[in-house]
Structures are given as C-alpha cells and as structure tokens.
A and B are shown apart, each in its own frame.
Chain A
Amino acid sequence: MAVSVNVSRFEGVTMAPPDPILGVSEAFRADTNDLKLNLGVGAYRTEELQPYVLNVVKKAEKLMLERGENKEYLPIEGLAAFNKVTAELLFGADNSVIQEGRVATIQGLSGTGSLRLAAAFIHRYFPDAKALISSPTWGNHKNIFNDARVPWSEYRYYDPRTVGLDFDGMVADIKAAPDGSFVLLHGCAHNPTGIDPTPEQWEKIADVIQEKNHIPFFDVAYQGFASGSLDADAYSVRLFVRRGFELLVAQSYSKNLGLYAERIGAINVVCSSSDAGTRVKSQLKRLARPMYSNPPVHGARIVANVVGDPNLFNEWKQEMELMAGRIKNVRQRLYENLSEKDKSGKDWSFVLKQIGMFSYTGLHKAQSDHMTDKWHIYMTKDGRISLAGLSLSKCEYLADAIIDSFHNVD
C-alpha cells in the first residue's frame, strides 16, 4: 500500500541561519585566498596557527589507556573525582564553602551544558525570576536562556566611546532590575569585549547585588587562561564567596586545558548550608537525566588526572602560562603595529588593557564585513577578534586591515 503522504511533514521547516560564531569557521574553510585569517571562534592556536593539544593532556590520555579503565555509565552528576577537583580549583581547596560541604557540583557538557542546566534549574525553581546579561555578551547566552524559558534583560557593559567598561551604566541597570534577579557575570576575560571590572569595581558590583538580593551567576570559561594564573583568574568568584553570597558558577575546560571537543565543565552552586547543597544537587540531577542521562567520561578523567597529580598539575600551569603569554605578546605586537601605522592619533591602547582570548575592536558590522570581504579576515560581526588565532607574523596585516576598515567604512 502506497504511503498516503506525498508531501513532507517538514515542508514548512525553514532554513536556519548559520550560527554567528561557529558559522564563521565554516565560511573561513570555504575561502581559498592565501591571506585568509580565522579570528572567529575562540580556539587557541600556536604561533604556527595550528591547533594545540596540551602535553599534559597527551600524558593523561596515555596513562588512562595503560590503566585500561572501563566505560561504565557515570552517575548522573558525573565523575566524583572530577567534581571534587573542579570545585577545589575554582574556590580553593581550603575555602570554607568546600570544607563545609556547601557546594553542589555537577559535571556538565562544558560551559554551554553547565549554563543550560543552571538555566533549567532557574526556570523550574525561580519561575518569576529573570536573568540579567551584559550588553554585549557571548552570543549563545541568550539562546540558552531562551530555550530554557528564562526571561532576560541586559545591563549596560561596553562603552564604545572609551572601548572600556560602562561601569555606572552597569551598576544602574543591575540596581533597576527586580529584586532576586540572576546576574550573569563573566568571571574573567569577558567575552566578547575582553574588558573586566577592576577589584574595586567588583566590590561595588557585589554591593549593588547584595542590596537587591540578586543571585550572582558566574560564567568561568577562562580560569588560568586570562592572566596565566588560576588563582588570579578566580579572584572575582572568590570575592563574592568571601562576602557570603549564595551563587552559581559554570566552568569550562575547553580553553584552559584545550579540551574543546571533549565537552567538559561543571555547574557549581554555593549554598548557605550543606543540606541546601544536597537538595540543589538532587534537583540538578533531575534536570540532567531527561537531557542526556549522564555526562561523557573521557574529558572528566583527563581533568581529574591532570589536576589530581602534582607533577601534571604543575606542568599544566606552565603550559597555561605559555598560552596566556603568547596571547599577551600578540596583543603587544598588534598594539605597536596599530599605533605605528595609524596616523590619525586614535588611541589603540584598549588592545593592551583588554584581557583574554578576545578583543573588541570597536568595529561595527559593516566594518567587520569589510574585514572579511576585502581582507579575508574572519571574525564575528560584533567586531570581536580572537587573538588566540593570531600569530606575531600576521599582526601587521591585521593592523592594516583594522585601520582601513575603521577609517574607510561607515
């Protein structure tokens, strides 16, 4: 008997636009020009512009292979050894929240997956609350809250006039939001701007959050990768913890351990009691189970092995310093090239002041398009470039392109 439906049930499905960030790499791959440069997605590249697998990761994988461990399901909350070391890395092993068992930690699918679990938790247990996100922020934050059905609004963050932080705007908007909002904060190396608050500014941000009974929600994707120091990059989170806040922190090991495709991260919820932590953990599990049942084991074991072994841990810190160092060098060279070549007197020092993998160039969409169309430089339309994809040898070319796009495109 012939099938009665001749038209597809999915005929009305429209073509979705390419992802604004991941789609950049697709476009880059399609470009055949020799001069092309991929400054789109934030994946670290060596000076030779090759992907980089950390030596400690290779060592850990070999160890794991030798041990011949099994591939049984992890518990819903993930690998216990991983959960332990990830919380210790973030808060400090001697932190009272850890000593008192007040942190609920669930292994998540890198930063995205951890944010999504947290957003689903917010939707279920705080259905009247909204999320506050910086303007701008990582493009996928909005998608995550949308799909989790958590309403959101923006707080001012980036000031195009100074190419710096609009601190007064930020504080005012956080203050104006309804009490009990979840304030999404970038722990360090703000994506996409690279602009972080100073320690004094963090204290004031904490003041207004406290005043409004908001809940801090940190996205920590670059611990150790921003400054080169794990502890320094955890400063903001630890400040809030010290001040007694209950808070959420999503972590990712994509960049700092180069484990991008292994999808390893965690959601941590700091609670005022260990009892609350236990309950919160149980509800996070209840959200993970119908999403993917339990998380992938491979990346978790790598992290647990690296962080858990003193030699590997030290070696990791050194490799991380090298990666962060290379990016700082590239910033320096780019700044020098821009300052030398641009005769307009424009202040390019924001390149040095910004921190982390990304730089917000201040170029708008048309100018960013020009970077691609004329110069074959691939970046996101918001003017963000990934310095991790830049080599010293390409700084001059990039400087020329930025100067041209900035001055000659309206």
Chain B
Amino acid sequence: MASQNPIAPSPAAGLYGGSVFANVVQAPEDPILGVTVAYNKDPSPVKVNLGVGAYRTEEGKPLVLNVVRRAEQLLVNDPSRVKEYLPITGLADFNKLSAKLIFGADSPAIQENRVATVQCLSGTGSLRVGGEFLARHYHERTIYIPQPTWGNHPKVFTLAGLSVKTYRYYDPTTRGLNFEGLLADLSAAPPGAIVLLHACAHNPTGVDPTLDQWEQIRLLMRSKGLLPFFDSAYQGFASGNLDADAQSVRMFVADGGECLTAQSYAKNMGLYGERVGALSIVCKSADVATRVESQLKLVIRPMYSNPPIHGASIVATILKDRELYHEWTIELKAMADRIINMRQQLFDALRARGTPGDWSHIIKQIGMFTFTGLNTEQVTFMTKEYHIYMTSDGRISMAGLSSKTVPHLTDAIHAAVTRMK
C-alpha cells in the first residue's frame, strides 16, 4: 500500500493561520459516479444518463421492485421487529439463503458446511473484505484482474493489501473475448495466484466466455492451483435466469475446489442504496470454513463492526417466501428482457441509419453494459454536442436507455463515428 501523497503534518495546527490540511489536495471525481454528477449539472432537456449502472424503466425512472415494497411493508409493520446489532457476520438467514442462491440449494459445498458466508456492503464491501482476508491469510498476494474491468476493482484490491496484475480479456478488433490471450496470461501466472472472474455480464464489456470456454478456464486454473474470486453482481439480471447466470460459479464449485464469491443485490433486487451483498468462501472442509469465518470477523469488526440490517432483511424476506421469490423472478426477468430489447432497438437503429461499422456486438454482449468501441474523443464529443453521459472508456448502460432515447443516442453515435475517428 504505497503512500501516494506523503504529507508531513503542518507545523501550525490551524490556530495561527496555517491549516493542518494545507497539503491535502482536491481529489478528482470518481470516474464512474462523477458521470452522474456531471449529468445532474447539465440543464439540457435532451440529456441522457448512460453512466452508472442503475436500472431505469422505459419512462427513465428508477425502479423499486413491487416485491421489495411488499417485503418492506411486512418488515416495517412487524411490531416485534428490533434494530439490535446484527452479528459481525450479518443476518444468518440472509447468509444461508444467499449461498443457496448462488451455489444452488443442492450444492455439496453447502450440504457439507464447507461455505463461510458473511453479509457485506454490496459487491464492493464483499470484494474488499475478501481481499483483506486473502492479503492476511493467503500465501499468494497477487490478484489478476481482466483487462478491462470495473474501474473500482484495482483500488479495492490495492487498498486491501494485494498486488494487482491484469490478464488479457477484451479484444477491440472483434469486440469480443480475447480467449487466447486470457489463457496465455493465466498460464503464465504464478501457481496459486488469485484470479478475479466476472461470473456473468462482464463489466464494462458485456462479453462473457461461453460454457465451453469457462470449462477450459476452469481446467487451466485448477491445474495451476489458481484461486478463483468471482464477482457476481448480475445474477438473474444478465439472461433473466438465476441458474443460468450462476453456471460459471457452480462449475468451479462442482469440481470440489475452493473459491471466493462476492454477491451483490444492488441490481437484481434493485437494492442499490441499501448496500446488500455477501462474501462466500468455499473451503475444502467444514473445519477450515469455521476458522475462515472467524478470521473474516476480525477483518470486519475494525471496518464497520457489523453490517446494516435493512437491505438484508428485505432480501431474506423475499428469498424465504415461495410466493415472493416467484414474483421476484418475474420482475427480474422483465428487467433483463427490457435491456435485451434496448440492445435490439439500438442495433436496428444504427443499421437503419447506415452508421459505419459492425454493431453486432451490441446484441452479442450481455448484461447492463455495452462496450461500444467508441474512443475517448468520440465520447467527449457525444457528451458535449449531444449531452450523452457515459464513461470515457466507451461503456454505456443499456439500463439507462429507453425507446424514446434510442433515436437520440443513434444520432450521437452516428455523428461521433462519421465526424471523428
């Protein structure tokens, strides 16, 4: 963990005109969340926010799932409900149900009590706690992350105490997976190294390995003893099917090996601001899992003591009730379907416009995001001239698009591609 800005304490502690904080510089806005900040400032009536990955309805509004509202009603109106501290590991029901959701209820790892699951603050918190645990207890302190990956990944792991390297992932020429490069880079990794894998709907590219490719990745990783660390932020949200979106993870667990999984309910249950997630560590034995859990508590206690109850209670209420669960799967599929629909509409519109280039990646990629292939200059142009807000790597959130805004986006892309190279 480098001290990036070594600052000496100012000699005058603020009382005689100088400031203790004289040498603290203004940090730049977070590149992803900063997009929304910029969007909010823009007065243009035609502005579109395709920055942060938060689902929007066809009317461009945030969505709280009906099933979430119903669960909340039940909770708030329950007179026996209290706000006592959760255990450090979080809400027990929530942990069990989350593990079942990702690994499958019949997973041998669960049957054999080999999974240590702790409630964490959404995906970010789960990744950070997992990273800190590995930095303390695992012999290999290097984590390989795909190139590109979610902008926050390198920071999370670096601050957790790991050293971050990358493996090839995205091929700009095909706008698909650089599978050869991926295999070569993982083959070259030191035995035992940690490898971050996006379980489905890779962020930012939307490019996922096929099941065959996953199998090859699994074989390679197991032969080199590489430790998988899954980031599962879109289960059910990518294809519309919870089991399908968990297949990569389950493949690895089925072979009896160990892995880490960070789960988030931000998107698939629309619980963004409630910060609900879970970290699961699948171990070789129940005894190891118990010891691992005890050490996870030592990471969590000095970070925030115990996790927030509200979001986890909502999730547990839904997952444990058959009717609510079923309703959830329907609402989840509707969200996934709307996004798939937006992909098709944008693709059709660009083709109809005759915009130069092959835009089929828009319908081949999966999940909330599309890696358009647009470069930084083109993105800046689109923001300035068309008030399209997106991250500078060319990523757009399909969840922020609607039938009404597809034409405007098409115009913007067309202009950017034809006027700027």
> Which A residues fall within an 8 A CB radius of B?
1-16, 19, 22, 26, 41, 43, 51, 53, 57, 61-62, 65, 68, 70-76, 109-110, 112-113, 116, 123-129, 140, 143-144, 146-149, 179-180, 210, 213-215, 244-246, 254, 258-263, 269, 271-273, 276, 278-280, 282-283, 285-287, 289-299
Question: Which A-B residue pairs are the 7 nearest by beta carbons?
Answer: A246-B14, A8-B284, A297-B273, A180-B9, A109-B304, A261-B309, A143-B302
Q: A8-B283, A246-B13, A298-B311 are in contact. Are A292 and B292 (CB under 8 A)?
A: no
Q: A144-B302, A215-B13 are in contact. Are A73 and B272 (CB under 8 A)?
A: yes
Q: Which residues of A contact B356 (CB under 8 A)?
A: none
- In the complex, the answer to whether A262 meets B272 with C-beta atoms within 8 Å is no
Q: List 5 A-B contacts (CB under 8 A).
A: A15-B294, A70-B273, A72-B54, A292-B122, A296-B311
A-facing mask of B20-63, CB < 8 A → 1, else 0?
Answer: 11111111001001000100000000000000101000000011
Interface residues of B in 1-26 (CB under 8 A from A): 1, 3-9, 11-15, 17-26
Residue among A68, A246, A263, A279 with max Cβ neighbours from chain B (10 Å)? A263
- In the complex, the answer to whether B27 meets A283 with C-beta atoms within 8 Å is yes
Which of B83-91, B171-179, B241-249, B372-380 is the contact stretch? B83-91
- In the complex, the answer to whether A294 meets B275 with C-beta atoms within 8 Å is yes
- In the complex, the answer to whether A126 meets B9 with C-beta atoms within 8 Å is yes
- In the complex, the answer to whether A296 meets B275 with C-beta atoms within 8 Å is yes
A-facing mask of B69-97, CB < 8 A → 1, else 0?
Answer: 10011001000011111111000000000
Q: Which residues of A contact B306 (CB under 8 A)?
A: 22, 261, 263
Q: Which of B54, B85, B139 contacts A260 (CB 8 A)?
A: B85
Q: Which of B26, B62, B86, B139 contacts A279 (CB 8 A)?
A: B26
Interface residues of B in 235-282 (CB under 8 A from A): 255-258, 266, 270-275, 281
Q: Does B295 contact A (CB under 8 A)?
A: yes
A-facing mask of B139-157, CB < 8 A → 1, else 0?
Answer: 1000000000000100110
Q: Which residues of A contact B83 (CB under 8 A)?
A: 51, 53, 57, 258-262
- In the complex, the answer to whether A127 meets B14 with C-beta atoms within 8 Å is no
Q: Does B308 contact A (CB under 8 A)?
A: yes
- In the complex, the answer to whether A282 meets B285 with C-beta atoms within 8 Å is no
- In the complex, the answer to whether B87 meets A10 with C-beta atoms within 8 Å is no
Q: A71-B272, A245-B13, A261-B83 are in contact. Are A291 and B159 (CB under 8 A)?
A: yes
Nearest A residue to B19 by beta-carbon distance? A272
- In the complex, the answer to whether A125 meets B24 with C-beta atoms within 8 Å is yes
- Whole-angstrom distance between the alpha carbons of A289 and B281 in the complex? 23
- Whole-angstrom distance between the alpha carbons of A295 and B124 in the complex? 11
Q: Does B222 contact A (CB under 8 A)?
A: yes
- In the complex, the answer to whether A113 meets B303 with C-beta atoms within 8 Å is yes
Q: Which of B73, B122, B138, B283 contacts A65 (CB 8 A)?
A: B73
Q: Does B105 contact A (CB under 8 A)?
A: no
- Whole-angstrom distance between the alpha carbons of A302 and B255 in the complex? 46
- In the complex, the answer to whether B82 meets A51 with C-beta atoms within 8 Å is yes
> Which B residues fall within an 8 A CB radius of A?
1, 3-9, 11-15, 17-27, 30, 33, 37, 52, 54, 62-64, 68-69, 72-73, 76, 81-88, 121-122, 124-125, 128, 137-139, 152, 155-156, 158-159, 192, 219, 222-223, 225, 227, 255-258, 266, 270-275, 281, 283-285, 288, 290-292, 294-295, 297-299, 301-311
- In the complex, the answer to whether B24 meets A290 with C-beta atoms within 8 Å is no
Q: Which residues of B contact A7 (CB under 8 A)?
A: 284
- In the complex, the answer to whether A293 meets B283 with C-beta atoms within 8 Å is no
Q: Which residues of A contact B81 (CB under 8 A)?
A: 53
Q: Which residues of B contact A272 (CB under 8 A)?
A: 14, 17-21
Q: Which residues of A contact B222 (CB under 8 A)?
A: 1, 3-5
- In the complex, the answer to whether A71 meets B68 with C-beta atoms within 8 Å is yes
Q: Which of B17, B85, B137, B274 contacts A297 (CB 8 A)?
A: B274
- In the complex, the answer to whether A292 meets B13 with C-beta atoms within 8 Å is no
- In the complex, the answer to whether B85 meets A4 with C-beta atoms within 8 Å is no
Q: A262-B310, A292-B125 are in contact. Are A283 and B301 (CB under 8 A)?
A: no
Q: A3-B255, A13-B288 are in contact. Are A263 and B24 (CB under 8 A)?
A: no
- Whole-angstrom distance between the alpha carbons of A263 and B298 in the complex? 18
Nearest A residue to B223 by beta-carbon distance? A4
- Whole-angstrom distance between the alpha carbons of A74 and B380 in the complex? 26
Q: Which of B1, B37, B298, B310 contacts A296 (CB 8 A)?
A: B310
Q: Which residues of A contact B122 (CB under 8 A)?
A: 292-293
- In the complex, the answer to whether A246 meets B27 with C-beta atoms within 8 Å is no
- In the complex, the answer to whether A110 meets B303 with C-beta atoms within 8 Å is no
- Whole-angstrom distance between the alpha carbons of A62 and B15 in the complex? 46
- In the complex, the answer to whether B301 meets A19 with C-beta atoms within 8 Å is yes
Q: Which residues of B contact A43 (CB under 8 A)?
A: 84-85
Q: Which residues of A contact B225 (CB under 8 A)?
A: 4-5, 9
Nearest A residue to B8 by beta-carbon distance? A128
Q: Which residues of A contact B137 (CB under 8 A)?
A: 10, 12-13
Q: Which residues of B contact A75 (CB under 8 A)?
A: 33, 37
Q: Which of B11, B20, B124 contacts A215 (CB 8 A)?
A: B20
- Whole-angstrom distance between the alpha carbons of A75 and B6 in the complex? 27
A179 to chain B, nearest CB (A): 8
Q: Which residues of B contact A113 (CB under 8 A)?
A: 303-305
- In the complex, the answer to whether B30 meets A245 with C-beta atoms within 8 Å is no
Q: Which of B27, B275, B302 contacts A282 (CB 8 A)?
A: B27
- In the complex, the answer to whether B73 meets A289 with C-beta atoms within 8 Å is no
Q: Which residues of B contact A110 (CB under 8 A)?
A: 304-305
Q: Which of A3, A127, A180, A260 contacts B3 (CB 8 A)?
A: A127
- Whole-angstrom distance between the alpha carbons of A273 and B84 in the complex? 39
Nearest B residue to A300 by beta-carbon distance? B273
List 4 other contacts, CB 8 Å, given A7-B284, A271-B20.
A5-B257, A16-B294, A125-B21, A260-B83
Q: Which of B138, B256, B297 contacts A16 (CB 8 A)?
A: B297
- Whole-angstrom distance between the alpha carbons of A294 and B32 in the complex? 13
Q: A127-B3, A296-B274 are in contact. Are A8 and B285 (CB under 8 A)?
A: yes
Q: A68-B64, A292-B128 are in contact. Are A116 and B302 (CB under 8 A)?
A: yes
Q: Which residues of B contact A297 (CB under 8 A)?
A: 273-274
- In the complex, the answer to whether B27 meets A285 with C-beta atoms within 8 Å is yes
Nearest A residue to B252 by beta-carbon distance? A3
Nearest B residue to A149 by beta-carbon distance? B1
Q: A4-B222, A16-B295, A289-B155 are in contact. Are A125 and B23 (CB under 8 A)?
A: yes
- Whole-angstrom distance between the alpha carbons of A213 and B12 in the complex? 6
Residue among A53, A213, A287 with max Cβ neighbours from chain B (10 Å)? A213
- Whole-angstrom distance between the alpha carbons of A261 and B119 in the complex? 13
Q: Which residues of A contact B22 (CB under 8 A)?
A: 276
- Whole-angstrom distance between the alpha carbons of A146 and B8 in the complex? 20
Q: A43-B85, A62-B76, A279-B25 are in contact. Are A70 and B62 (CB under 8 A)?
A: yes
- Whole-angstrom distance between the alpha carbons of A188 and B13 in the complex? 24
Q: Which of A13, A14, A51, A287 contacts B84 (CB 8 A)?
A: A51
- Whole-angstrom distance between the alpha carbons of A110 and B295 in the complex? 22
- Whole-angstrom distance between the alpha carbons of A124 and B6 in the complex? 7
